[in-house]
Amino acid sequence: MKAKKILVMGVSGCGKSLIGSEIANALNLPFHDGDDYHPQANVDKMAKGIPLDDEDRQGWLETLNKVYTENEAAVIACSALKPAYRDILRQNNEELVIVYLQGSFDTIWNRMKVREDHYFNGCAMLESQFEALVEPVHGEALIIDISQDVQAVICDSLNAIKRLEELN
pLDDT at 120: 54
State the Cα–Cα distance between residues 129 and 152, nearest whole angstrom: 24
Please say if the pLDDT value at position 113 is more than 80: no
Express each pLDDT in 46-93 by its tens digit: 778 787 889 999 999 999 999 999 999 999 999 999 999 999 999 999
pLDDT at 33: 97
DSSP 29-72: --EEEGGGGS-HHHHHHHHTTPPP-HHHHHHHHHHHHHHHHTSS
In this structure, is the dihedral angle defined by the CA atoms of residues 77, 82, 92 and 156, taken in order, positive or negative?
A: positive
User: Where does the pLDDT of residue 163 fall: very low under 50, low under 70, confident under 90, or very high at 90 and above?
Assistant: very high
**Of 78, 27, 30, whose CA–CA distance to 57 is shortest?**
78
Please say if the pLDDT value at position 119 is more than 50: no
Mean pLDDT, residues 158-165: 96
- Domain limits at 55? 5-167
The enclosing H or E element of 7 equals: strand 5-9
Q: What's the domain count of the chain?
A: 1
Which CATH number characterizes residue 73's domain?
Answer: 3.40.50.300
Q: Which strands form 74-77's sheet, in the order they lie side by side?
A: 31-33, 74-77, 5-9, 97-102, 142-145
For the purposes of burial, counting CB atoms within 10 Å of the CB of 143, is it exposed (0-12), middle (13-18) or buried (19 or more)?
middle
